[in-house]
A and B are shown apart, each in its own frame.
Chain A
Amino acid sequence: MNSRLSYDVVVIGAGTAGLVAATRLAQSGASVCVLAKGIGSTHLAPATIDVLGYAPDLVSAPLDGIAALTAARPDHPYGLIGTEALTAGLDWFSTTAAAGPYPGYGYVGGLQRNMLFPTALGALRPSALVPETMAAGERSGLTRVCVVGAPSLRDFHPSLCAANLEAAGIEARPVSVELELERADMSTLGIARHLEDERWRAQFCARVSPMLRAEEHVGLPAMLGITDPHVVLTDLEQRFGRRVFEIPTLPPSVPGMRLYEILRSALRAAGGRLALGAEVVSHERDGDRVTSVNTHAAGHDHTYAADWFVLASGGFASGGIELDSHWVTHEHVLGLPLAGVPGPGEARFVSDYLSDQPMARVGVAIDADLHAHGVANVLVAGAALPGAEPWREGSGEGLALSSGYRAAQVIEAAAGAQRTEVLT
C-alpha cells in the first residue's frame, strides 16, 4: 500500500532541532510534517539548554564564548547560525516552555552567563537555561546540600556525588532512603511516576525529612514528576521547608521527556504533524531539488512530497551519519556529502580517550545558510551539523535549538520571496 502526502516542509528527525524547526514553521503558517525513525536525543540528555560550556576552558558567558570560538574557528556551526538566531531561539523556547503542557513549569537562565549544576557524579556542569526543578542546584547559591538517593535506585549514587561536590568546596552529605517499591531496582522514570501519587510522596518526604540538617538544599536525582513536575517540586519544598533540586542522571531522562513533551505539544498546537516509526528509506530528486521522501513503516509505504526539507536526523549517535566497516562515512537519509571526514591514512580516532577525536566533528556539508551541499532545498540542523563536538563543548541543545530556529527562518524568508515573485 502506498499513499502520497504533500506538505510545505518535511522535517526529518524528532530531536530538539527537528521539533523546533517544525514548530516554528508551523507557527508561521506552513504545513509541516516531522518524520522520525524514533524519538530523538531528548530522552537521553539532561534537558538543560547548554549553549557553550567549554571552549575548551570553562566559558563563563556563552555569548562572549561564542564570539571568541567563532573568531578562532569560523567553521564552527555557531559561526553559520549566528547569535541573533540563538538569542531569538532561546527566547522563543523560554516562552514556549512556560506556556507548555506543564502548568507552572518553565526554564530559568539566559545567555548572559553560564550557571554550574551538579551532575550525578558530582562534577559541576555549565548550562545557560535549566528547568526550574534544577534551579536550586546552581553552584553560586549552593553552600550546603544533602544529596538523597535510594538503594533501589541503581542509576544514582549519592555518596559519590556528595564526595565530588565536597571536593569542589560545597558542604555536601549523602543520604540514602529505603523506598516503598515493588521491585529491587527502578529507573528514575518509575519513581517519577510514584512521586506524582500524593500518598507515596508524603511517605517519601516523611522518610527524608528527619535526615535533613539546617540550611541544606536537597538534591535528588532528576525524577520530580513526569506529568506535573511543578506540583511535585513545590510540594517537596513545602514539606522539607527548603529548596529542592534535580540532578540529571543516566537515561532515560525524566526532564528530557518533559522537554520532548513541551516541544511536541507546541508542534501539535501549531498544527504540525509528527510521525514516529517513519524511517525515511529513499527519496526522489528533480535536478538539484529533493521532491519527496519515502518511509516504510508497519507494512505501509508512504511518500511525502514537500517544497523544503529539514534534515535533523542527528550524527553518529542517532545513525543519521554512519561509518561502515570499510571505513567509509555516509549521510544515511539523503546520501548528502559530508564535511570534516578524515582522509585516507588520517586518524579517525586517537588512542587517548579524552583527546579530540577527529571523527567526532563530521557532519553534513553546508553553506552559510545551513543549506546542504548538492541540493537546493534541504537545510541541516542539530547534531548533523559539522564542526562541533556537542557533548564535550557543552553545546548540544544550544546548537540544536538555534539551528532549528535558524533553518525555519531561512525557509520562511525563501518562501516569502517566492510568494512575492508569484505576486509580481
Chain B
Amino acid sequence: MVTLTTDVLVIGGGATGVGVAWDASLRGLDVVLVDRHDLAEGTSGRFHGMVHSGGRYAVKDPNAAKECVAENAILRRVAADCIEDTGGMFVTTPFDDPAFADRFAQGCAQTGVPCEEISPAQALRQEPRIHPKISRAFRVPDASIDVWKTLWAMAHGAQQRGARILPHHAVTAIQREGDEVVGARVHDARGGEDLEIRARVTVNASGAWAGQIAEFAGIEGVRVFPGRGIMIAMNHRLVNTVTNRCQMPTDGDIIVPIRTVSVIGTTDNRTEDPDDQTVEQNEVDQMLDEGEKLVPGFRDARALRVWTGVRPLFEDAKAADTDTRDVTRAHALLDHEQRDGVRGFVTITGGKLTTFRLMAEQTVDAVCGQLGEARPCTTKTEPLPGSESGAHYKLGERLARKEATLTQEQTICECELVPRSKLEQAMSRTGSTSLDDIRRQLRLGMGPCQGGFCIYRATGILHELDGLSAQAADSSLMAFLQERWKGVWPVLYGNQLRQARLDDWIFHGVLDVEHLPS
C-alpha cells in the first residue's frame, strides 16, 4: 500500500476543506486533501450561489450578520474573479409583514450591514420584474459566487504550493495510536487502490458528514443534523440583483442571479441522512409559488434543474428540534485535544459558504496550536489564483471573449458559451474522464438545453483526447445523462419539457444511446 506523509490531512473537499487546504498551504504547511467525490459535490456545490451581505441575519442572528459583513468584504477582494457584484435588495412585498422593514433597517445598523433604503420606484427601475406592489426596498451588498471556480482556484493555488488534492478518495478508516489520530486510510474510487495517509494533524471538514468521520476516530457525540433544502434554477436572469423578501428568513424567499440563470431557494427539512437528496413535489410547488410572489410570472420561465443541499447544523442543546433553521447556522470548531483528549484531530462543521474563509482560518489556527507552531494566516489579503487584478466577474465577459474568436474557435456548449479549447484544457488538466466532473468545472451542459447538443460533442472530444475505450466514453456519457435527469425530472414542465423531449429525440432517436455495443 502506498503511504503518503504530510503535515495536515484535510477530509472533505467542500468550501471549508479546500479553504483549509489553501490557508494551510499559504502558511507553509504540507497538505493532503481527500474527498470521497469531486470537489464541491456536497453541500458547497448544492446551494444557491449567494454571498451574504449579512442582511438575512441582521434581525435573527446578529453575530452571523457581523461575520457576513466582514467576510463579504474580504471575499470581494480575494475571490474577485469568482464573484459577480450583483448587489442585493430586500423588498417588502404585499405578502410580507410591513412592520419588519423597520426592524430590518435597525438590525442592519446595529450589525454594520451596509444598507440603504431606496424608494419602491427606484427598486422597480432597477428590477422591473419584481412585484409591482412592493412597499419598501433596501439595497445591500449581496453578491453571487461561482463556487466551483472558487474551490478549484483555491485547490490550484494549494497545489502550486505542494498540496496534493485527491478527489474521489473516500476515507475508510481513521488511524489512531492511543490518544492520537495519526492519519487515515483512504480508497481511491477511480484507481481502485487503498492509500495510507499519515498526518501530524487530521482536519475533519466533512460538513454534514462530520459526525460519521468523527465516529471513525472513535469520537462520540459530534452530532450534525443535516437540514435539507431544495433550490431550483430558472433559465433566465429573472432578476439581476440578489432579491430577498424583507421578512423573517423562511422558505423560498431569495432569488439569486448567477451566471445565466436565477436560483430560488430554499426549503428546510430535517433529515437523518446527509446523503438524502430527496426532492418532494410539495417543495417544488412551494418554491414556484414563492417565486410568483417575488417575481410575478415566475412560473412562465423554464425550470432547468432542481437540487438538494444539506446544511450542516451542529447540534445546540438549547435549540428546538423541529425547525432546523432555528438550530444555529454558526460554525463549530472542535479541538478534540481539548474536548476529548485526542490529539491530532480537529473537526470544523456548521457555518455557511459566506464564512468559509473565516472557518478555515480558525481551523488552521487550531492546527498550528496543536503543532505548537506560530504561522499567521494570510487568506484575508492573498488573492486566489485568477483574482489578482481585483476585478469582478461580469456576465458579459464570456460573450466578449466568444465574439473575439468567433471564426477561429468552436463553441461546444452554446448555452454556457464553452469553447473547445477550454474544454480540452479542462479534460487534460483534471485527467478526469467523467463528463459530470467537467460539467462542474465549466458549467458544460448546465444551460437551457441541459447537454442536449454539447454532450455528444464533449463525449467525442473526450474519447479522442484521452484515447478512451469506446466503453469508457459510453459509460461517461450514460452517467452524465443519468446524473442530469436526476435534477431535471422533478421540475419538468412547460418549455423545459419540450427541451427534454428534444434531447430525448437526439439521444434516443438520432444517436440510440440505449443500444451502444459496450
Contact = CB atoms under 8 A, between A and B. Distances in A.
A131 to B, nearest CB: 15
B485 A44 contact: no
B110 interface: no
A247 B338 CA distance: 68
A323 B497 contact: yes
Given A159-B463, A318-B498, A351-B485, A119 B474 contact: no
Nearest to A41: B505
Nearest to B501: A317
Contacts of A253: 510
Interface in B267-284: none
Contacts of B3: none
A152 B411 CA distance: 11
Interface in B464-486: 464, 469-471, 473-474, 477, 481-482, 484-486
B508 A351 contact: no
B195 interface: no
A324 to B, nearest CB: 6
B518 A164 contact: yes
A383 B300 CA distance: 24
A123 B502 contact: no
Interface residues of A, number: 61
Interface in A145-178: 152, 154-157, 159-160, 163-169
A354 B477 CA distance: 13
A160 B435 CA distance: 15
B513 A123 contact: yes
Given A46-B510, A155-B457, A166 B497 contact: no
A251 B506 contact: yes
B494 A390 contact: no
A316 B515 contact: no
A184 B407 contact: yes
Contacts of B474: 121, 164
Given A160-B459, A249-B510, A351-B486, A327 B505 contact: no
B89 interface: no
A41 B510 CA distance: 12
A168 B288 contact: no
B410 interface: yes
Interface in A128-157: 152, 154-157
Contacts of A119: 510-512
A138 B511 CA distance: 16
Given A163-B469, A184-B408, A323-B492, A396 B512 contact: no
B492 A157 contact: no
Given A123-B513, A164-B474, A184 B410 contact: yes
Nearest to A56: B514
B494 A392 contact: no
Given A121-B516, A164-B517, A250 B510 contact: yes
A316 B485 contact: no
B494 A125 contact: no
Given A154-B420, A184-B410, A317-B498, A392 B514 contact: yes
A45 B510 contact: yes
Nearest to B300: A325
Interface residue SS majority, chain A: loop
B412 A154 contact: yes
Interface residues of B, number: 55
A319 B498 contact: yes
Contacts of A44: 502, 505-506, 509-510
B152 interface: no
Given A160-B464, A182-B407, A185-B410, A45 B509 contact: yes
Given A121-B516, A124-B515, A322-B497, A46 B509 contact: yes
Contacts of B100: none
Contact of A396 (B410, B489, B509): B509
A89 interface: no
A160 B492 contact: no
B282 to A, nearest CB: 12
Interface string B281-302: 0000000100000000001100
B216 interface: no
Contacts of A316: 497-498, 501
Nearest to B412: A154
Contacts of A349: 489-490, 492
B482 A45 contact: no
Contact of B463 (A125, A163, A325, A352): A163
Contacts of B420: 154
Interface in B437-470: 453, 456-457, 459-461, 463-464, 469-470
Contacts of A90: none
Nearest to B470: A163
Contacts of B303: 325
A167 B516 CA distance: 9
B516 A164 contact: yes
B220 interface: no
A121 B498 contact: no
Interface in A286-336: 315-319, 322-327
B456 A120 contact: yes
Contact of A248 (B463, B498, B510): B510
A390 B508 CA distance: 9
Given A160-B473, A322-B494, A352-B482, A123 B510 contact: no
B428 to A, nearest CB: 16
Given A119-B510, A250-B453, A323 B493 contact: yes
B409 interface: yes
A325 to B, nearest CB: 4
8 contacts: A121-B512, A123-B516, A157-B457, A251-B510, A316-B498, A317-B498, A322-B497, A353-B481
8 cross-chain pairs, A with B, having the tightest CB-CB distances, nearest first: A157-B460, A163-B470, A391-B509, A317-B501, A353-B485, A325-B299, A167-B517, A185-B410
Given A323-B494, A325-B303, 18 more contacts: A121-B459, A121-B474, A124-B512, A159-B463, A160-B470, A160-B473, A163-B463, A166-B470, A168-B517, A184-B408, A184-B410, A185-B410, A251-B510, A322-B498, A325-B288, A325-B300, A350-B489, A396-B509
